[in-house]
Structure 1
């Protein structure tokens, strides 16, 4: 007997807002299958408001309400039965974040949970990582966002520790990451990885997904530290406009991709990792999995 239900995850990030709709496929005596059905991404970049001015602008408040109304309609038309909306760094730090949350619930009927960095790291780590990793190896999982980056150490298939740092692509673009924060990250990575003989990185986030696609590598094959360094140097030889016109990057990707690479390369350097795996998973996937496992509350549509 085949049972298929649709779940939706809304990820309100500092760089973009995403709606992921997944098919949850259940069959007797077989493991459940999570299959992506639809992904919509809107580059609102809330962090550009919040990390500089501490408030979400009226312009972006309107865009958020328009986007959430569109997401509500898309979920209904897809026949979604359960959803969960999570807001991260930008909404968390905005002085008017709670006000916008209430306004969206009133006008769009979508309830939003503003989660902290630790919960974000825990949800991300709940993804189907076991299908991508070797349980005899040790990994540093790095999820780069616009406002923060979440790190998890995974050893023998188990999460050992997680931490969130206020180092994100939008913060770096606006030059508001303190040297002290970089030093704290370096210390955390070295302290939590130097006890293992060999570390590999797992990277998630829109930027590393794009880089992996550009590389032409087959799914499951890692990118090397040498490749990422080379691509990082290549990008820096192009202006922002040339990255759009000549490298064919979207305008909301062409600027953040360089600071994203800086974070991944720093993590590889400090952990001693030579390779990075890119399984194309993130917070949205973790929300779907956590809803199914009932480890986080969800809302019926």
Structure 2
């Protein structure tokens, strides 16, 4: 007997807000299948407000309300049974973050939970990451966001160390990351990877996914440090406008892609990794799987 139900994940990040709608396909005697139905991304860039002024502007508050109402109607149209809305770094730091969550709940019927970096990393780890991991290898897992980056050391297929740093693409664009924060990150990576002979990186986030797509590599094949550093230099040779018109990048990607690459390349340099795997998973995927396995709370539509 085939059973199909739909769950949704809302990821409210510092650069963009995403809605992922997934079909959960259950068949007796078979492994459950998670099939993505729809992914909507709106580049509100909350972090551009928060990391400069400390709060979310009236303009972006209204955009949030409009977007959440649209997401609610889309979930109803798709017949979604349960959803979870998680907000990360920008909403964590916003002076009016809790107020906006309340407004969204009252006006759009969507309940938002503001999560910390550790919980964010745990939810992401609920994805199919093990499909990409060789149990005989050691990995530094790096999830780059707009406001923060989550780092985890994976040894024998288990997470042995994890930490969230307030280094993200939008923060870097707004020059709100101190040298001390960079030094702390460098020391953390070196201290937690020095005992392993060989490290590979696993990279997640919209920017590394885009770079992987541009590379033309087959799924499961890694990108080299040489390729990433060459592409990093290439991007710097183009103006913001040229990255849009000549490199065909979206306007909300054309600026953040450079600081994102800086984070990945720094992590590779400090850990000694020569390759990076790009499994194309993220917080939204982890939310859906966590709803299904009942490891996080969810809301019925």
TM normalised by structure 2 equals 0.99
Please name the residue that 1:48 is paired with.
48
CA RMSD of aligned residues (A): 0.7
Once the two structures are overlaid, the 10-residue window that deviates more, 40-49 or 21-30, is 21-30
Matches of 2:123 and 2:61, distance apart in 1: 26
Shift of 1:100: 0.3
Matches of 1:145 and 1:10, distance apart in 2: 15
Please name the residue that 1:28 is paired with.
28
Shift of 1:152: 1.0
- 1:1-12 residue pairs with structure 2 within 5 A? 1-12=1-12
Shift of 1:160: 1.2
Moved over 4 A (4+): none
The 3-state SS of whatever aligns with 2:176 is coil
Please name the residue that 1:148 is paired with.
148
Q: Which runs of 5+ in 2 are unaligned?
A: none
Kept after mapping to 2: 8 A contact 1:13/1:90: yes
2:250 counterpart of 1:260 = no
Kept after mapping to 2: 8 A contact 1:125/1:152: no
Matches of 2:27 and 2:156, distance apart in 1: 29
Matches of 2:192 and 2:289, distance apart in 1: 26
The 3-state SS of whatever aligns with 2:31 is coil
Q: How many residues align?
A: 301
Deviations 1:151-181 (A, max 9, x none): 1111111111211000000000011101111
Shift of 1:80: 0.5
Kept after mapping to 2: 8 A contact 1:7/1:83: yes
Kept after mapping to 2: 8 A contact 1:142/1:204: yes
Q: Which runs of 5+ in 1 are unaligned?
A: none
Kept after mapping to 2: 8 A contact 1:122/1:162: no
Deviations 1:194-229 (A, max 9, x none): 111111101100000000000000111100000000
Please name the residue that 1:300 is paired with.
300
Shift of 1:35: 1.5
Matches of 1:60 and 1:148, distance apart in 2: 20
TM normalised by structure 1 equals 0.99
Matches of 1:159 and 1:290, distance apart in 2: 17
The 3-state SS of whatever aligns with 1:4 is strand
